[in-house]
């Protein structure tokens, strides 16, 4: 007998969403010159709030505020800057429940993930870089590493607050000031973060948040008085930004797309591997640049593994992101849903076999069932292009050399996973795989002390760890 789950929704009373939000410039909320836009709850398509849109003049004001604040912020002893970062980290922890609910409402991700993954990592990131602020001289970048100045930072919608933390924590620790643009579909936690900056008593202008879409992002990256541009998002926009920054002397880091291989050998612990495959591609609806979207399974265990994987997928619960038992939440936007559908349809048209468990989708909102493609050839679009959704392409291999060949046969190189009992094989593969992160017998694990970043079209520069400091220092 199978028991049904009772609904277990997290209360949304802990969040107080205002009807409208302004830009956060020089420590104050102000109006924007562009046409305001709406942020929508992707789980039911209701409007959450109206958001100001920053035009070029607003971005200029924000950069000027950051420039002015840089004089005093960069002159503070590192131990003083650390105090602010520790304070921010503690406020994030205190307000974690509220921020998790807000994130799930605005993004569509399950509360279990925003509560247990995003928010703890956000706080951990601020704690981690707070610890570096007074130790920069010992970070291996020379006896007196200097900050760069004003950092223009543009982030995507898949981990809104976590990407903000990845960008802002190291920038501030190193003595820079920032102008950050959140994604247009998920601005709410960045605006809550602006309130946290006020609450922490952070000097005005050190952090500025400008909301808007691509044009606002382009104004941030293109501003002549920005010294450093940090971008996480699509490879396509990354290319545009690289072009706009080329020859200007601005320092640039890009964290772009991925098409990671998750490689399972015949000696792997199958049940553990199945969990890792599920985490690899269905975590955060597959809206993860390092998602394990290509499963490479050794031919001898293909049948057994796929059987176990399908049984596991049939137990995933899709629905209300605020329900504590939900595994798969809503797709972040109608545009993203359309992109996922197009690529999944292409998979079928090109001859791969599509499978999903029985999975009723809610009537309202943006939803896509967990989907598996078998019989995938390396030339298929679903094996080459980033889908950024809950869609797994399964390919097979016979020998370790073939696994390496297929894993590396992609323009991307952000991450990879290896499942095997043999330590020597893990080390051999880690050396051969052209990927910034290689997980062994696990997947999608993050730690602020561990650097993250890509090879090839997945971008350049590293975020996290000691390496993450380099992107914000004049070295």
Query: Annotated active-site positions, please?
Result: 255, 289
Terminus-to-terminus CA distance in the chain, angstroms?
A: 63
Structure tokens that stand for 421 in this block: 């009992």
Provide, rounded to whole angstroms, the least separation between the CB of residue 237 and ligand ADP: 3
Beta bridge partners of residue 255, listed in sequence order = 232, 459
Provide, rounded to whole angstroms, the least separation between the CB of residue 233 and ligand ADP: 3
- How many residues contact ligand ADP, by CB under 6 A? 16
Q: According to the binding rule CB under 6 A, does residue 237 interact with ligand ADP?
A: yes
Q: According to the binding rule CB under 6 A, does residue 221 interact with ligand ADP?
A: yes
Q: According to the binding rule CB under 6 A, does residue 229 interact with ligand ADP?
A: no
Structure tokens that stand for 364 in this block: 């309202």
Q: According to the binding rule CB under 6 A, does residue 184 interact with ligand ADP?
A: yes
Q: How far is CA 387 from CA 13, 26, 123, 291, 341, in A?
A: 34, 38, 29, 10, 9
- Rounded to the nearest 5°, which phi and psi values hold at 382? -70, -10
Member of 197, 218, 340, 352 binding ligand ADP (CB under 6 A): 218
Q: According to the binding rule CB under 6 A, does residue 154 interact with ligand ADP?
A: yes
Q: What is the largest CA-CA distance in the chain?
A: 67
Member of 109, 115, 125, 181 binding ligand ADP (CB under 6 A): 181
- Pattern of binders to ligand ADP over 186-215, x per CB under 6 A? ---------------------------xx-
Size (the chain), residues: 475
Q: According to the binding rule CB under 6 A, does residue 240 interact with ligand ADP?
A: yes
Spell out the alpha helix ranges (H) of 354-395: 381-384
Provide, rounded to whole angstroms, the least separation between the CB of residue 257 and ligand ADP: 8
Cα atoms found within 13 Å of the Cα of residue 461, Cβ hemisphere only = 22
Provide, rounded to whole angstroms, the least separation between the CB of residue 324 and ligand ADP: 27
Burial call 349-387: b when 16+ CB within 10 Å, e when fewer: ebebeebbbebeeeeebbbbbbbbbbebeeebbbbbbbb
Q: According to the binding rule CB under 6 A, does residue 180 interact with ligand ADP?
A: no
Q: How far is CA 371 from CA 76, 302, 382, in A?
A: 52, 17, 12
Q: According to the binding rule CB under 6 A, does residue 325 interact with ligand ADP?
A: no
Q: According to the binding rule CB under 6 A, does residue 316 interact with ligand ADP?
A: no
Q: Which of residues 18-37 bind ligand ADP (CB under 6 A)?
A: none
Member of 52, 121, 124, 241 binding ligand ADP (CB under 6 A): 241
Provide, rounded to whole angstroms, the least separation between the CB of residue 285 and ligand ADP: 13
Task: Report whether 456 contacts 434 (CB < 8 A).
Answer: yes
Q: According to the binding rule CB under 6 A, does residue 183 interact with ligand ADP?
A: yes
Count the neighbouring beta carbons within 10 Å of the beta carbon of residue 445.
11
2 vs 243, which CB is nearer to ligand ADP? 243
117 DSSP 8-state letter = I
Beta bridge partners of residue 295, listed in sequence order = 262, 394
64 vs 186, which CB is nearer to ligand ADP? 186
Q: Which residues bind ligand ADP (CB under 6 A)?
A: 154-156, 181, 183-184, 213-214, 217-218, 221, 233-234, 237, 240-241
């Amino acid at each position: 007998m199978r028991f049904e789950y009772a609904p277990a929704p997290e209360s949304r009373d802990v969040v107080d969403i205002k009807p409208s939000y302004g830009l956060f410039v020089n420590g104050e909320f102000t109006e924007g010159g562009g046409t305001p836009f709406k942020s929508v709850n992707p789980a039911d398509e209701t409007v959450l709030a109206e958001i100001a849109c920053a035009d070029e003049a607003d971005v200029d004001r924000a950069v000027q505020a950051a420039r002015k604040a840089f004089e005093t912020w960069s002159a503070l002893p590192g131990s003083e800057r650390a105090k602010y970062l520790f304070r921010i980290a503690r406020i994030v922890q205190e307000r974690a429940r509220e921020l998790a609910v807000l994130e799930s409402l605005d993004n569509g991700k399950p509360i279990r993930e925003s509560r247990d993954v995003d928010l703890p990592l956000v706080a951990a990131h601020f704690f981690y870089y707070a610890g570096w602020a007074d130790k920069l001289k010992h970070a291996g970048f020379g006896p007196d590493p200097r900050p760069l100045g004003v950092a223009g930072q543009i982030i995507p919608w898949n981990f809104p607050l976590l990407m903000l933390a990845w960008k802002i924590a190291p920038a501030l620790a190193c003595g820079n000031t920032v102008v950050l643009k959140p994604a247009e579909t998920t601005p709410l936690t960045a605006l809550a973060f602006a309130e946290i900056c006020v609450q922490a008593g952070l000097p005005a202008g050190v952090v500025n948040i400008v909301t808007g879409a691509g044009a606002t992002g382009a104004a941030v990256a293109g501003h002549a008085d920005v010294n450093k541009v940090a971008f996480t998002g699509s490879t396509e926009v990354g290319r545009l930004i690289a072009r706009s920054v080329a020859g200007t002397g601005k320092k640039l880091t890009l964290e772009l797309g991925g098409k990671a291989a998750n490689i399972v050998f015949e000696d792997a612990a199958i049940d553990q591997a199945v969990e890792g495959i599920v985490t690899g591609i269905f975590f955060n609806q597959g809206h993860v640049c390092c998602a394990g979207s290509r499963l490479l399974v050794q031919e001898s265990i293909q049948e057994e593994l796929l059987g176990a994987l399908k049984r596991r997928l049939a137990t995933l619960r899709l629905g209300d992101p605020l329900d504590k038992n939900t595994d798969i939440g809503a797709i972040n936007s109608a545009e993203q849903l359309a992109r996922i559908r197009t690529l999944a349809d292409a998979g079928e048209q090109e001859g791969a076999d599509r499978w999903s468990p029985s999975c009723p989708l809610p009537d309202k909102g943006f939803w896509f069932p967990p989907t598996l493609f078998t019989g995938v050839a390396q030339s298929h679009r679903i094996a080459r292009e980033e889908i950024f959704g809950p869609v797994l392409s399964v390919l097979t291999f016979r020998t370790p050399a073939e696994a390496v060949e297929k894993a590396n046969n992609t323009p991307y190189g952000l991450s990879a996973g290896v499942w095997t009992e043999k330590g020597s094989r893990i080390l051999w593969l880690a050396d051969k795989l052209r990927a910034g992160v290689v997980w062994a017998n696990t997947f999608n694990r993050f730690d602020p002390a561990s650097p993250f970043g890509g090879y090839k079209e997945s971008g350049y520069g590293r975020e996290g760890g000691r390496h993450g400091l380099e992107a914000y220092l004049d070295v």
